[in-house]
């Protein structure tokens, strides 16, 4: 979203807190921080409940942690939190394992051997931060502040982001853009002038027809969506699932379309062909709000279901029937925009096609469609202004990707700049809570870039793969042991929630805010951290919205006043595109030489004997961050490679047998178990992402399962926004462990 539309967007959706407290009753079900019943000598008896929010993934579900007799006992959903509705997903429930994790980093580490050899010595915090400050000052003096980049993921990165902005670099990035949902946000922004956002604006619980393209809800465990999905299924909603693999979501579907991987655009165009040809679209919405519909209508006429059949292998009659079914329930129909959308390199255009199919349903701002999210506004801390960078960011030299100019930078673009020195060399990386060797495609490129650096700092909780390459490793307190910044998401209702410490750190770990403030002092940037501690910071922000930290510590979640999330006659939708309409034909795309109406490109075929490598989520793990949590690793210790049962039989592979995968560039995976199943097409294999880490220090996970990231040596860059399409690698299956 460009900054103008973001500002407008916030203006129309943020409610002030003036009325909020009056609107929410103070009598929460949970009495946060209930008194510990008895304290005799060192023995603490009784149960204490402390509200906080989860960090096992980025959904930020409100939770209640229980302390029993002074020890962390369990964690449950916060009944008043809109994201958890009183329930956590299995990962969140197992979250307390992060505190007890045997693999945890205990003290700051300084590298002594060559990079990547994993030879470190323990040092004090002062020594570690002095080392970093000295290097950062030298980088600034020799190359300018822009030569430092920050890779971070999650709300825990906020204070370090602030520090890096104060230091003067614009190179702040997260894998959630170019490796995740960037194409979707750009595709929707180009079409509606607005993004999908996280949490997604999908009114799944009220929908009558839900179309899932990939989006493997039930394995993708984003809590609220899964709860709403279950509710929709229970209410008899029609589910249409498109996936080369019979996913958990497919098992709930009325129509399962086992599509040939990489051909979804053909299906989308054919669906729109049917809906337009049979005049099944929402005429009123199109008449009022569509721009360029005539050109679209003309162009879409060529994409018949028979044409799409050749590409997708989906029966033309099934395409017709499912298109009609979507239209039957519109506007209470959602074609889910997906989330991890960096698939084939034409992902922004596919997302645009999804946006247009939704527009044909007229579901914008409608119940059961795409609602208008709300938020509460809590002013930021009154910091001094940041220094301005003359050079600008390094992720997108020469504006190569014209639609990547928002706040979110291209992680792989910063890696590229580090490797090539274009537009200028990057000399230091600060890495917070992102395991770059797993999160970025082509692990070797990441390692090569790291070898060019003068400084690599990694803040982690365990000796992850990326920590193994660091010059300095800073051990962080886990989420149950610290405060983080306030959570004020755009959602069905506006609310603010708090992460607060529930237990103490077991060793010399420190929270991110403490590291950022300390390092700022050493860098001479102390004026950017005028607060005494994080409690003062949080209280200042909350007070400026008429609330207080004490209130939020007790309640965990405070809701804003009720706001409208659907449009009606008195409250029509606004589209912040250049035409003020939903753009079926995009002048902005046309201007810079891209297809103004989405077109289909054929994916490459796997060579004979090879399979396309696909990947996804397991319900009990988050990427590469939960593998040493014993509550979760007990449920799934390693990943498997899914292969069609007939193919396995023909090749002589048995279930449970160990094999290795070899990709088109000769890269060999760790050993991984065969899962021979009818639930996958014959032209692809599938595995869960996050396994197969090769850090020797990280003993609990070393060589457990195989890593998709290591096999993803090839990636196709989306020419619109720089996203890395990763579903473009082919593997053969090799015998033997």
Ligand X SMILES: Nc1nc2c(c(=O)[nH]1)N[C@H]1C(S)=C(S)[C@@H](COP(=O)(O)OP(=O)(O)OC[C@H]3O[C@@H](n4cnc5c(=O)[nH]c(N)nc54)[C@H](O)[C@@H]3O)O[C@H]1N2
Nearest to 616 by CA among 562, 556, 690, 682: 690
Q: Which is nearer to ligand X, 76 or 219 (CB)?
A: 219
Question: Which region, judged by CB under 6 A, interacts with ligand SF4, from 54-62, 113-121, 175-183, 354-362?
Answer: 54-62
Q: Please provide the DSSP assignment of 19-87 as one string.
A: THHHHS-S--SS-TTPPPSEEETTEEESEEEEEEE--SSTT--EEEEEEETTEEEEEEE-TT-TTTTT-
Q: Which is nearer to ligand X, 14 or 477 (CB)?
A: 477
- Whose tokens are 């082509």? That residue is 442
Q: Please provide the DSSP assignment of 169-224 as one string.
A: ---EE-HHIIIIIHHHHHHHHHHHSS--TTTT-B-GGG-SEEEEES--BTTB--HH
Q: Which is nearer to ligand X, 28 or 713 (CB)?
A: 713
Site for ligand SF4 contains 340 (CB under 6 A): no
Q: Verify cis geometry, omega within 30 degrees of 0, for the bond prior to 682.
A: no
Site for ligand SF4 contains 180 (CB under 6 A): no
How many Cα atoms sit within 13 Å of 299 on the Cβ side? 15
Q: Which is nearer to ligand X, 72 or 547 (CB)?
A: 72
Q: How far apart are CA 246 and CA 253, in angstroms?
A: 10
- Which residues would be at the binding site for ligand X (CB under 6 A)? 55, 57, 91, 153, 156, 175-176, 179-180, 213-216, 220-222, 242-245, 247, 259, 261-262, 264, 338-340, 343, 432-435, 438-439, 459-462, 464, 476, 478-479, 614-619, 621-625, 686, 689, 708-709, 712, 726-727
Which of ligand X, ligand SF4, Mo ion, none has residue 223 at its interface (CB below 5 to 8 Å by kind)? ligand SF4
Question: Which region, judged by CB under 5 A, interacts with Mo ion, from 175-183, 341-349, 522-530, 696-704?
Answer: 175-183
CB of 58 to Mo ion, least distance (A): 8
Name which position in 1, 30, 57, 450 contacts ligand SF4 (CB under 6 A): 57
Site for ligand SF4 contains 78 (CB under 6 A): no
Site for ligand SF4 contains 54 (CB under 6 A): yes
The set of long-range contacts for 454-457, using a CB threshold of 8 Å and a minimum separation of 24, is 454/135, 454/138, 454/139, 454/427, 454/428, 455/132, 455/135, 455/136, 455/139, 455/148, 455/427, 455/428, 455/429, 456/115, 456/428, 456/429, 456/431, 457/132, 457/428, 457/429, 457/430, 457/431
CB of 59 to ligand SF4, least distance (A): 4
Structure tokens at 637: 């210790």
Q: Verify cis geometry, omega within 30 degrees of 0, for the bond prior to 331.
A: yes
Which of ligand X, Mo ion, ligand SF4, none has residue 476 at its interface (CB below 5 to 8 Å by kind)? ligand X
Site for ligand SF4 contains 159 (CB under 6 A): no
Q: Which is nearer to Mo ion, 222 or 352 (CB)?
A: 222
Q: How far apart are CA 664 and CA 66, in angstroms?
A: 50
CB of 176 to Mo ion, least distance (A): 6
Other C-beta atoms closer than 10 Å to the C-beta of 605 total: 12
Is residue 681 within 8 Å of residue 646, measured between CB atoms? no
Site for ligand SF4 contains 480 (CB under 6 A): no
- Whose tokens are 């051990």? That residue is 475
Site for ligand SF4 contains 59 (CB under 6 A): yes
Nearest to 418 by CA among 177, 143, 707, 713: 143
Q: Which helix (H) or strand (E) holds 663?
A: strand 658-663
CB of 175 to Mo ion, least distance (A): 7
As a three-state string, the secondary structure of 389-423 is CCCCCCCCHHHCCCCCCCCCECHHHHHHHHHHCCC
Q: Which is nearer to ligand SF4, 252 or 625 (CB)?
A: 625
Which of Mo ion, ligand SF4, ligand X, none has residue 606 at its interface (CB below 5 to 8 Å by kind)? none
Residues 502, 89, 215, 280: what is their CA dihedral angle, to the nearest 10 degrees? -110
Q: Which is nearer to ligand SF4, 59 or 303 (CB)?
A: 59
**How many residues at the interface with Mo ion, by CB under 5 A?**
1
Which of Mo ion, ligand SF4, ligand X, none has residue 432 at its interface (CB below 5 to 8 Å by kind)? ligand X
Name which position in 83, 180, 404, 467 contacts Mo ion (CB under 5 A): 180
Name which position in 1, 15, 67, 88 contacts ligand SF4 (CB under 6 A): 88
Other C-beta atoms closer than 10 Å to the C-beta of 18 total: 12
Task: Measure CA 520 to chain center.
Answer: 28
Nearest residue to ligand SF4, by Cβ distance, number only: 92
Q: What is the largest CA-CA distance in the chain?
A: 81
Q: Round to the nearest angstrom and report the end-to-end CA distance of the chain.
A: 48
Q: Scan residues 221-260 and list those touching ligand SF4 (CB under 6 A).
A: 221-223
Helices 293-300 & 264-277 angle (0-180, nearest 10) = 110
Is residue 173 within 8 Å of residue 414, measured between CB atoms? yes
Q: Which is nearer to ligand X, 712 or 731 (CB)?
A: 712
Q: Which is nearer to ligand X, 215 or 497 (CB)?
A: 215
Q: Which is nearer to ligand SF4, 60 or 366 (CB)?
A: 60
Nearest to 533 by CA among 553, 548, 511: 511
CB of 368 to ligand SF4, least distance (A): 23
CB of 370 to ligand X, least distance (A): 16
Which of ligand X, Mo ion, ligand SF4, none has residue 261 at its interface (CB below 5 to 8 Å by kind)? ligand X
Site for ligand SF4 contains 60 (CB under 6 A): yes
For residue 571, CA distances in Å to 116, 467, 509, 564 come to: 58, 51, 51, 9
Site for ligand SF4 contains 98 (CB under 6 A): no
Site for Mo ion contains 516 (CB under 5 A): no
CB of 511 to ligand X, least distance (A): 9
CB of 631 to ligand SF4, least distance (A): 12
Name which position in 50, 89, 502, 672 contacts ligand SF4 (CB under 6 A): 89
Q: Which residues bind Mo ion (CB under 5 A)?
A: 180
Q: Which residues bind ligand SF4 (CB under 6 A)?
A: 54, 56-57, 59-61, 88-89, 91-92, 221-223
């Amino acid at each position: 979203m460009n900054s103008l539309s973001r500002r407008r967007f916030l203006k129309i959706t943020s409610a002030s807190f003036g009325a909020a407290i009056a609107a929410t009753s103070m009598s929460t079900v949970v009495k946060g921080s209930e008194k510990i019943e008895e304290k005799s000598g060192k023995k603490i008896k009784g149960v204490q409940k402390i509200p906080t929010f989860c960090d096992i993934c980025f959904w930020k579900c409100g939770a209640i942690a229980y302390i029993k007799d002074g020890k962390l006992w369990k964690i449950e959903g916060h009944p008043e939190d809109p994201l958890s509705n009183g329930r956590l997903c299995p990962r969140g429930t197992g979250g307390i394992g992060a505190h007890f994790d045997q693999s945890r980093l205990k003290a700051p580490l300084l590298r002594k051997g060559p990079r990547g050899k994993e030879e470190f010595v323990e040092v004090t915090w002062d020594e570690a931060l002095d080392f970093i400050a000295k290097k950062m000052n030298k980088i600034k003096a020799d190359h300018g502040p822009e030569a430092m980049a920050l890779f971070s993921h999650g709300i825990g990165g906020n204070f370090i982001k602030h520090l890096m902005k104060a230091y003067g670099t614009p190179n702040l990035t997260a894998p959630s853009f170019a490796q995740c949902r960037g194409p979707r946000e750009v595709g929707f922004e180009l079409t509606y002038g607005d993004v999908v956002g996280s949490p997604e604006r999908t009114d799944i619980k009220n929908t009558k027809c839900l179309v899932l393209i990939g989006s493997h809800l039930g394995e993708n465990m984003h809590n609220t969506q899964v709860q709403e999905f279950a509710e929709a299924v229970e209410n008899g909603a029609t589910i249409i699932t498109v996936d080369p693999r019979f996913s958990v979501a497919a098992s709930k579907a009325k129509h399962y379309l086992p599509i040939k991987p990489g051909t979804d655009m053909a299906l989308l165009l054919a669906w729109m062909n049917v809906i337009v040809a049979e005049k099944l679209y929402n005429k009123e919405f199109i008449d009022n709000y569509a721009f360029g519909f005539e050109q679209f209508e003309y162009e879409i006429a060529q994409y018949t279901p028979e044409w799409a059949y050749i590409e997708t292998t989906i029966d033309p009659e099934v395409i017709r029937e499912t298109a009609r079914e979507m239209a039957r329930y519109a506007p209470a129909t959602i074609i889910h925009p997906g989330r991890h959308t960096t698939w084939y390199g034409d992902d922004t255009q596919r997302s645009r096609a999804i946006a247009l199919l939704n527009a044909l349903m007229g579901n914008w701002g409608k119940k059961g469609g795409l609602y208008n999210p709300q938020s509460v506004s809590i002013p930021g801390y009154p910091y001094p202004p940041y220094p301005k960078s003359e050079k600008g960011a390094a992720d997108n030299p020469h504006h190569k990707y014209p639609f990547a100019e928002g706040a979110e930078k291209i992680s792989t673009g910063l890696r590229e700049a580090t490797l090539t020195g274009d537009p200028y060399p990057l000399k230091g990386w600060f890495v917070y809570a992102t395991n770059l060797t797993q999160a970025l495609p082509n692990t070797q490129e990441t390692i090569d870039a790291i070898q060019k650096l003068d400084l690599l700092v990694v803040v982690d909780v365990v000796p992850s793969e990326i920590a193994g390459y660091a010059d300095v490793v800073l051990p962080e307190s886990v989420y149950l042991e610290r405060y983080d910044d306030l959570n004020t998401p755009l959602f069905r209702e506006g609310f603010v929630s708090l992460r607060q410490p529930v237990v103490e750190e077991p060793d010399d770990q420190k929270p991110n805010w403490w590291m950022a403030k300390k390092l700022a002092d050493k860098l001479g940037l102390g004026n950017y951290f005028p607060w005494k501690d994080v409690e003062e910071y949080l209280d200042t922000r909350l007070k400026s919205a008429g609330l207080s930290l004490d209130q939020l510590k007790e309640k965990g979640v405070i809701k804003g006043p009720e706001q409208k999330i659907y449009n009606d006659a008195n409250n029509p939708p606004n589209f912040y595109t250049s035409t003020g309409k939903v753009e079926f034909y995009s002048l902005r795309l046309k201007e810079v030489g891209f297809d103004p109406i989405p077109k289909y490109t054929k994916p490459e075929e796997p060579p004979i004997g090879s399979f396309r490598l696909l990947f996804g989520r397991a319900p009990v793990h988050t990427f590469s961050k939960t593998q040493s949590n014993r509550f979760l690793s007990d449920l799934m210790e390693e990943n498997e490679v899914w292969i069609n049962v007939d193919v396995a039989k023909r090749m002589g592979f048995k279930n449970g047998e160990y094999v290795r995968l070899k990709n088109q560039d000769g890269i060999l995976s760790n050993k991984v178990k065969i899962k021979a199943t009818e639930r996958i097409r014959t032209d692809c294999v599938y595995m869960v992402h996050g396994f197969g880490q090769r850090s020797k220090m990280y003993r609990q996970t070393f060589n457990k399962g195989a890593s998709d990231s290591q096999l993803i040596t090839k990636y196709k860059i989306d020419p619109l926004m720089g996203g890395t399409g990763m579903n473009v690698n082919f593997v053969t299956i090799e015998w033997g462990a």
